[in-house]
Amino acid sequence: MAVYTIVSDEDLHGFLAEYDIGELLSCKGIAEGVENSNYLLHTSSGHYILTLYEKRVDAKDLPFFLGLMEHLANAGIRCPTPIHGRDGQALRHLAGRPAAIVTFLDGICVNRSQPKHCRALGESLAVMHIHGEDFELRRPNALGVADWPLLFRETAPLADTVMPGLKNLIDDELGYLAEFWPQDLKQGVIHADLFPDNVFFFHDTVSGFIDFYFACNDALAYDLAICINAWCFERQGEFNATKARALTQTYQNVRHLSQNDLDALPILCRGAAMRFLLTRLYDWLNKVNGALVRPKDPKEYVERLRFHQKAGSAASYGLT
Amino acid sequence: MAVYTIVSDEDLHGFLAEYDIGELLSCKGIAEGVENSNYLLHTSSGHYILTLYEKRVDAKDLPFFLGLMEHLANAGIRCPTPIHGRDGQALRHLAGRPAAIVTFLDGICVNRSQPKHCRALGESLAVMHIHGEDFELRRPNALGVADWPLLFRETAPLADTVMPGLKNLIDDELGYLAEFWPQDLKQGVIHADLFPDNVFFFHDTVSGFIDFYFACNDALAYDLAICINAWCFERQGEFNATKARALTQTYQNVRHLSQNDLDALPILCRGAAMRFLLTRLYDWLNKVNGALVRPKDPKEYVERLRFHQKAGSAASYGLT
């Protein structure tokens, strides 16, 4: 939630001269995304988002992210669509940063999801997975199962200061995940960060997905497992089985999950809980004093992990 | 540059039900203003700004600020216009804060002003002063000449840590200002904070003024003195006489400055420099570690103050 790079009006006018999107009428920094600087542009042709990619995004991944958004948008998935400049390029530089302009997407994020939102999400997620299949670029998951032990190495010495016993709990779980992580699941392009902030609704339908900056190739059912973690637990930590059923069954109605996918769902959910536990733990232990972005409590994901450890099968998530 | 109060989608929908501005399509926190939380709303009827007033704004002043914007907008001055709810009220509460919706204004702030911008500003400032005359509410300047010694009391003990000799310099100047501050100038409604961030341009004309949350009744020429300080010094501290002449002469062409106003201009400029020196000094000494809003260097205003101390007459600012 920030604007890290300030763009002068002169630089902005020069940058926009490379595009054919009309005359600039207004430019406002928006408080969206924790990784990049975002501006809402109003021009004589409409509304756009200008993103300046900050240090946490690897510039070499940008063609994948922008290409994916364009690929999905062309397939009819509602997501920001990169705008090409007069030279055909969608990616250029502004104020010393890689920068791109994408279309502005209407829609509202829900703070308190209801089963109807999970139903709409399940369907849209499955449709996105289907249309991602023929996207030709590849990007390995940089926060996948093989990366978790490495990620934990930096926070392990202080883990018990966050919660007594956390270090052993994570060590044991990482051992289990490394041993039993499924290798034979249907692969595809996943969003990998489809939290409520990244899903827009209009009335009760999904009006778009945003923030594709963790998208990568991985097991498609792992994306569903991330959504189960992100959408189906209540604020006090309780698992909401109604929401999970709404999410998974509408997904399954649109895109068939194989028996392998179904059998793997509990461990995929454990892995997804681990991935967010580890990054939250890192942000929690490396927080900046006084910063406006308050790190989220990693302990929430310990509770979710424990739930998944006890889940016997896909039936725990509403699938049979 | 921040969003301090997060509004849930449910609260927002309930709040908007009080208005007749169509259906909500999008709501984005914007990085504008350091005092309040601002959201850009897109509804089926257009674009609006939703402001939640944070603690630094005194709720009892809000009818003055909102009334003034409405008064000026009705007179044809381009500024945000408060939207009234179905009950006729423009001011209500949201997420525990006083809140109002105003119209969205297009336009771009200039980072590096040129004489043409100062010319346009001088004219628009004079027109605003003329149309403010028949606004019936009153608000004394809470940061006026009588308040400066009080404001300095909190920072005086540490002033010399910012710049050796600063405490004496301010003490002496406050003595001078208290003794010679003019009492017989034409009074009216002033904006009191017309820095480049608060003036929108489209091409080379002023497309609007924003952020009226320091507006008050005071000497009209003092507003011009604030603009001289805010617009006519270069980054290295040099006074740009061409910009000052552009600003003051176009102002004078639209609204006549009396001989009293002209004679007072150097001391008004000294006072304006003192006002921003004191608040910047306060923010500098009370900065929050790691906060995203970086306090501005108060020493810039020491240089400006010294320039004004040597200015002999209004001729120094391009007026005769």
Please tell me if residue B42 touches chain A, with a CB cutoff of 8 Å: yes
Distance from the Cα of B30 to chain A's closest Cα (Å) equals 4
Asked if residue B119 and residue B54 are part of one domain, the reply reads no
Q: With beta carbons under 8 A apart, name residues in chain B contacting A30.
A: 28-31, 40
Please indicate, yes or no, whether residues B21 and B76 belong to a single structural domain of this protein: yes
Q: Find chain A residues with C-beta within 8 A of B291's C-beta.
A: 290-292
Q: What are phi and psi of B202, to 5 degrees?
A: -135, 120
Lowest mean pLDDT among A199-203, A293-297, B123-127: A293-297
> pLDDT per residue over B198-240, tens digit each?
999 999 999 999 999 999 999 999 999 999 999 999 988 999 9
Tell me: do B177 and B304 sit in the same domain.
yes
User: Is residue B2 a part of any domain in this protein?
Assistant: no
CATH number at residue A96: 3.30.200.20
Nearest CA in chain B to A207: B25
Determine contact: B3 vs chain A, CB below 8 A: yes
**Chain-centre distance of CA B214, in angstroms?**
6
> What is the pLDDT, as a whole number, of residue B1?
41
Cα(A103)–Cα(A11) distance, rounded to whole angstroms?
20
What the block records as the tokens of A49 is 């988002």
User: Strands B205-209, B199-202: parallel, antiparallel or unpaired by DSSP?
Assistant: antiparallel
- Shared-domain flag, residues B134 and B275: yes
User: Within a domain: residue A305?
Assistant: yes
Which pair of structure tokens corresponds to residue A283? 């942000």
Q: Does A44 touch chain B (CB under 8 A)?
A: no
Task: Clarify whether residues B263 and B203 are in a common domain.
Answer: yes
Contacts of A301-305 spanning 24+ positions with Cβ under 8 A: A301/A229, A301/A273, A301/A274, A301/A276, A301/A277, A302/A163, A302/A166, A302/A169, A302/A277, A303/A233, A303/A237, A304/A229, A304/A233, A304/A237, A304/A239, A304/A269, A304/A273, A305/A169, A305/A173, A305/A270, A305/A273, A305/A274, A305/A277
Q: Which of B77, B103, B129 is the last residue of a domain?
A: B103
Contact B201, B109 (CB under 8 A): yes
Q: Which of A80, A103, A126 is the last residue of a domain?
A: A103
Residue contact B31–A2, C-beta within 8 A: yes
Average pLDDT of chain B to the nearest whole number: 94
In a shared domain, residues A71 and A132: no
A55 touches chain B (CB under 8 A): no
For A247-261, what is each residue's pLDDT tens digit?
999 999 999 999 999
From the candidates B10, B26, B207, which should be mutated to test the interface with A, based on the most A CB atoms within 10 A? B26
Q: How far apart are the first and last CA of chain A?
A: 40
Domain assignment present for B4: no
B281 inside domain: yes
Looking at the domain assignment, is residue B3 inside a domain?
A: no
Distance from CA of A43 to the nearest CA of B (A): 9
> Do B91 and B136 fall into the same domain?
no
Q: What residue has token string 């699941």?
A: A185
Looking at the DSSP bridge assignments, the partners of residue B294 are none
Confidence of residue A64 (pLDDT cuts 50, 70, 90): very high
pLDDT tens-digit profile of A76-85? Answer: 999 999 999 9
* Å between A211 CA and nearest CA of chain B: 14
- Rounded average pLDDT over A262-278: 97
The pair phi, psi for residue B237, each rounded to 5°, is: 100, -10
The answer to whether residue B130 neighbours chain A at the CB level (below 8 Å) is: no
Answer yes or no: are the C-beta atoms of B204 and B117 closer than 8 Å: yes
Q: What does DSSP say about strands B187-190 and B216-219: parallel, antiparallel, or unpaired? A: antiparallel
Question: pLDDT of B33-82, one tens digit each?
Answer: 667 889 999 999 999 999 999 888 899 999 999 999 999 999 999 999 99
pLDDT tens digit sequence for A44-57: 999 999 999 988 88
pLDDT of A1 > 50? The answer is: no
- Expressed as residue numbers, the domain containing B256 is 115-317
Note whether A208 and A110 are within 8 A (CB). Answer: no
Q: What is the pLDDT of residue A236?
A: 87
pTM: 0.89
Taking only the tens place, the pLDDT of each residue in A212-248 is 999 999 999 999 999 999 999 998 899 999 999 999 9
Domain boundary, last residue among B103, B136, B155: B103
Dihedral sign (CA A181, A63, A123, A207) = positive
Q: How far, in Å, CA of A270 to CA of A254, rounded? A: 24
* Mean pLDDT of the region A97-117: 95
Structure token digits, residue A262? 């179904």
* Mutate: best of A7, A9, A27, A44, partner B, most B CBs <10 A: A9
Q: Do residues A120 and A141 share a domain?
A: yes
Model confidence at B16: pLDDT above 70: yes
Q: What is the pLDDT of residue B296?
A: 85
Q: Kindly state the average pLDDT of the residues B275-295.
A: 81
A302 and A245 in a common domain: yes
Contact B125, B224 (CB under 8 A): yes
Taking the Cβ of residue A115 and every Cβ of chain B, the question of whether any pair is shorter than 8 Å is answered with no
Within 8 A of B29 by CB-CB distance, chain A residues are 1, 30-32
Look at residues A258, A91, A271 and name the one whose alpha carbon lies nearest to residue A175.
A271
The reply to whether B1 falls in a domain is: no
Domain co-membership, A182 together with A306: yes
Q: Cβ of B31 under 8 Å from any chain A Cβ?
A: yes
A134 touches chain B (CB under 8 A): no
CB atoms A40 and B42 under 8 Å: no
Q: Is residue A108 part of a domain?
A: no
Q: Please report the pLDDT score of residue B69 as a whole number.
A: 98
Domain co-membership, A249 together with A276: yes
* B71-122 residue pLDDT tens: 999 999 999 999 999 999 999 999 999 999 999 999 999 988 999 999 999 9
pLDDT score of B288 more than 80: no
Distance in angstroms between the alpha carbons of the first and the last residue of chain B: 40
pLDDT of residue A242: 97
Q: DSSP of A194-217, one letter per residue?
A: --GGGEEEETTEEEEE---TT-EE
Of B31, B110, B292, the CB nearest to A30: B31
Chain A residues inside the 8 Å CB shell of B292: 2, 291-292
Q: Let me know whether A176 and A232 are in one domain.
A: yes
Indicate whether B110 belongs to any domain. Answer: no
- Structurally, how many domains does chain A consist of? 2
CB-nearest partner of A31 from B3, B24, B107: B3
Which of the four pLDDT bands, split at 50, 70 and 90, describes residue B295? Answer: confident
Among B10, B26, B30, beta carbon nearest to A31: B30
